[in-house]
A and B are shown apart, each in its own frame.
Chain A
């Protein structure tokens, strides 16, 4: 079955060839338009309400006392001096947390070990910065003073830092009950892997490290809590992507019914996965507010954020490709050792599982074996970072394809084309059991080459500056979005008597622009002015349940839940309007604040008038419930799989080894786009993070488990001068994953950019390539690689066109 597709310029309207069923037609057509954001005015004028901006009567301020060791026995803790300050309200240690449960862990299963993670350490510290005490003061500066006065002594123990060495029998154990520190072991196999390998002409083996990085949202984390003893209601404000889950987990930990807990996620300065998991600070602050009967607030410092905010990535990877001499991949074996950190968290196990599942990328190969070791180390737990498992998979396969091309002296694009899943094979069932909904990698790549003209750009650059080193790298990517059956997204739409529309959405957007895209969907469906629509989110009282904002899933899931709720409203209003117009409800059109039938467009009634009627039971058709409120929980049974092709052009300064990204091109298939302005913004930001990992970022631990770069002076985020311009455009294949036809865009750039940039640097190094490059590609590393060969060799190999690696 051929998927319908065509290419679309950035921001241009969408046209399709013969979809199987007609997609919903917008009445006013705001969907697809680059509507400017409705959420911006507050943020532009300094009126955002972030966690740090929350003020409560009688507010007290918390600071945590944190371990300076990665692994140590807590010997002795004395808080007398801290308590002697007049500003100190309380000091809590593990012994004071009476009745508070431990942090959540995974369920026990064969080869899967849960761990006990305390809120405050009682005996053994397992990662640097793990909290041993909580200090609360009347003033934030005084809280820091008091924390300094808490006297703690430790007996340092030998930490487990390297995840590969951690698996050796003589390694110390992070948890005594977990042999070889392997907390989770998973093997998968499909097809006939041994046969594929024995039939092949050769095997390409590549070992890579996908380094641990910090998501580093510009706003660090924070929690505030306030308890009302009269009603025993607890309100928790938290920087979280997942307010309802936090409510449930707090309920279990505190022993307070969920119905008594409200979680509010205020404006949030980015998250990128780091604000998904529930943290010890959430538990501790809520507990303290209840105990002290006064509101408590904690704001994470940047240093703490880098130390104890979850890190992403962190995999040692090995891949083997069984191949033919002309570059066809017959079979894949992949082994992932994941640096899970100190505790068995679900994130640390599920994320590398996704890497295994997606390791074949956009390539048609069915004989696949994967093996995952989630290893515990004395580091902060690993969790999601934009892409969560898929960037690691894309990096591995896209580097491996280039290495294969180099081995066989073929053009890496030729090897890609030879192995792409042909568009005729979609929906395509992967070896790992997923069904790719739609895609066309051949089209994405040819569109990229045609629009960017990167090959001639490179030739031009090399001709104009023969003494300089330029490189071109590609990646052809895919990922899973629209996570699915067990993660419903919810939305409610209501209409007031005045005809104003209120939309409540679950999860918690934090920069994606959901207010705008949801307004577009509702405005089209109900035919009302965007200005009459308000959106509310980030408060567990708004909706009974919702899952998180993550995984490029909000447009698809929240968007569909919003659309379905708006449709239910429309259905009910049609019945009321039909009575008032004496017409047939099924033929009514909602447009520009008016409702009328196609047959008699001159007889119309205002949307507002119908809304008012809904509140007057006497005016309603019999049996219709008064008021207008509709709710939808949406959980699709399948996922969506966006894909695309990216290209990077880089320059290397041979004197210093510094890499300068010059140009970046991307052609993505993300299904239908609700707002191209927002979608493109997601790609820009995603590419910046992918570039950060390729060129700049890594959390650096020394052998004693000390984090050497816990500040933004040393943990290097890309800045304005590190970023090239990004040229983004799209192709579109039709997906039936959801009725909006959207696939998700949030992680595309992060996934694709890292391998494209590293491949570009390898290309620029030309014949240098001995050892495969590691990340981040700091000048020192590149310079060393360069100086291991003569400049003359570089110049001659650089004269070749494009990403060609010589062996």
Chain B
């Protein structure tokens, strides 16, 4: 056991951890930030996607110890109070979620990708999300949500 401190959504969380503890377990079980989900055990589904130092990572594939000193953002860090982030708003407006289990991962992945490519084509959006699985939506409304979000952000909506 070793004491570490992780910075998540701008807040420090300190805990004694085992070296094998996954980042996703730290986020969910130690910080109680349960918006980051777990959908597989093979790094395939993307439900656990968070942003680490500006890049999207599957938090089931990162050890908590590897995240020390990094800046982590989870789905809980997006909305400003009641006001949704433009990507969240776009998912709402375009019915981009059904059960909502894949949604946090999808949104975090889109957050990263739209910073990289603010004006993507539909095909580019599809490719950027191909590591995030959704069993409910058939993806069409997710893709449309991300395209709409790109537009909102280009038009000056707040994005972090």
Chain A residues in contact with chain B, CB under 8 A?
36-37, 39-50, 52-53, 55, 140-141, 216-220, 267-270, 272, 301-303, 510-513, 677-678, 680-681, 684-689, 711-713, 717-721, 723, 725-726, 749
Contacts and interface: CB of A to CB of B under 8 A. Distances in A.
Interface residues of B, number: 58
Contact of A511 (B38, B99, B125, B140): B99
A716 to B, nearest CB: 9
Contact of B140 (A50, A301, A719, A726): A726
B20 interface: yes
B10 to A, nearest CB: 15
23 contacts: A36-B92, A36-B93, A37-B95, A39-B100, A40-B97, A41-B84, A45-B88, A46-B75, A47-B35, A50-B101, A53-B34, A220-B39, A270-B99, A511-B99, A680-B95, A685-B98, A687-B138, A712-B40, A712-B44, A713-B44, A720-B127, A720-B130, A720-B132
A294 to B, nearest CB: 18
Interface string B124-152: 01110111111111111111000000000
B151 to A, nearest CB: 18
A712 B95 contact: no
Contact of B97 (A44, A47, A713): A44
Q: Which 8 A-B pairs have the closest CB atoms?
A: A46-B35, A269-B101, A43-B100, A511-B99, A684-B138, A511-B98, A688-B138, A46-B75
B72 interface: no
Given A36-B92, A687-B138, A46 B99 contact: no
Contacts of B34: 46, 48-50, 52-53
Contacts of B38: 52
A218 B135 contact: yes
Contact of B135 (A44, A46, A513, A717): A717
Given A43-B100, A141-B20, A723 B130 contact: no
A269 B84 CA distance: 22
B136 A270 contact: yes
A558 B48 CA distance: 34
A608 B99 CA distance: 34
Contacts of A687: 138
A55 B102 CA distance: 21
Interface string B68-94: 000000111011000010001001110
Given A46-B76, A52-B37, A685-B136, A40 B100 contact: yes
A681 B92 contact: no
B138 A44 contact: no
A391 to B, nearest CB: 16
Contacts of B29: 140
Contacts of A39: 100
Contact of B101 (A218, A713, A723): A218
B97 A46 contact: no
A332 B32 CA distance: 59
A271 to B, nearest CB: 8
A218 B45 contact: yes
Given A217-B99, A302-B40, A685-B98, 16 more contacts: A36-B93, A39-B100, A40-B92, A44-B107, A46-B104, A52-B38, A140-B25, A217-B135, A218-B134, A218-B135, A218-B136, A681-B136, A688-B138, A712-B40, A719-B129, A720-B142
A44 B139 contact: no
Taking each of B20, B36, B126, which has the highest tally of chain A beta carbons within 10 Å of its own beta carbon? B126
A216 B135 contact: yes
B115 interface: no
Nearest to B74: A46
A684 B127 CA distance: 19
B51 interface: no
Contacts, number: 177
Nearest to B78: A45
Q: Which secondary structure dominates chain B's binding surface?
A: loop
A511 B101 CA distance: 9
B95 to A, nearest CB: 5
Nearest to B29: A140
Contacts of B40: 302, 711-712
A228 B104 CA distance: 35
Contact of B127 (A219, A303, A721): A721
Given A36-B93, A681-B137, A688-B139, A141 B21 contact: yes
Contact of B79 (A43, A45, A681, A749): A45
Contacts of B136: 218, 270, 511, 681, 685
B157 to A, nearest CB: 15
B55 to A, nearest CB: 20
Nearest to A44: B88
Contact of B133 (A40, A44, A272, A717): A717
A219 B107 CA distance: 17
Contacts of A718: 138-139
B95 A36 contact: yes
B47 interface: yes
A673 to B, nearest CB: 14
B20 A43 contact: no
A302 B133 contact: no
Taking each of B34, B41, B140, B143, which has the highest tally of chain A beta carbons within 10 Å of its own beta carbon? B140
Nearest to A683: B138
Contact of B91 (A44, A217, A267): A44
B24 to A, nearest CB: 11
Given A269-B101, A712-B45, A685 B138 contact: yes
B39 A684 contact: no
Interface in B9-57: 18, 20-21, 25, 28-29, 32-42, 44-45, 47
B103 interface: yes
Contacts of A711: 40-42, 44
A659 B34 CA distance: 38
Contacts of A40: 91-92, 97, 100
